[in-house]
């Protein structure tokens, strides 16, 4: 699932990283889920963060470890991170955080 896509008005591609899916990932639940956060100028880095890393960023509101992050992108990134956490929680309702 994509939360943001490159376009005329968007420098970001933010998506639930399905490449992290495996039998082991399914058994590990939330902790194994990953969100890819790519800025158009830094996509070669292929930044991907775990559910726990995303939750930590949301708590601290510090997104500085995201390649290409700027203050101007704060609102978009916050929204995408919040949506990812909500989607993972909806997919894994019976598993502990």
The answer to the question of residue 22 being in a domain is yes
Domain that holds residue 60: 2-91
22-66 confidence digits (pLDDT tens): 544 444 688 889 999 999 999 888 899 999 999 999 999 999 999
- For the chain, the domain total comes to 1
Distance CA 51, CA 49 (A): 7
- Residue 31: name the closest of 5, 64, 53 by CA: 53
Give me the sheet containing 34-39, strands edge to edge. Answer: 2-4, 12-16, 34-39, 48-50
The answer to the question of residue 34 being in a domain is yes
The answer to the question of residue 47 being in a domain is yes
Q: pTM for this one?
A: 0.83
The answer to the question of residue 96 being in a domain is no
């Amino acid at each position: 699932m994509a939360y943001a896509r490159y376009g005329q008005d968007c420098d970001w591609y933010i998506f639930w990283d399905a490449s992290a899916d495996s039998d082991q990932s399914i058994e590990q639940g939330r902790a194994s889920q990953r969100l890819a956060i790519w800025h158009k100028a830094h996509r070669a880095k292929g930044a991907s963060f775990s559910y726990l890393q995303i939750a930590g960023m949301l708590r601290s509101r510090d997104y500085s470890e995201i390649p290409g992050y700027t203050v101007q992108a704060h609102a978009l990134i916050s929204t995408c991170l919040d949506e990812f956490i909500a989607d993972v929680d909806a997919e894994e309702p019976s598993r502990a955080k």
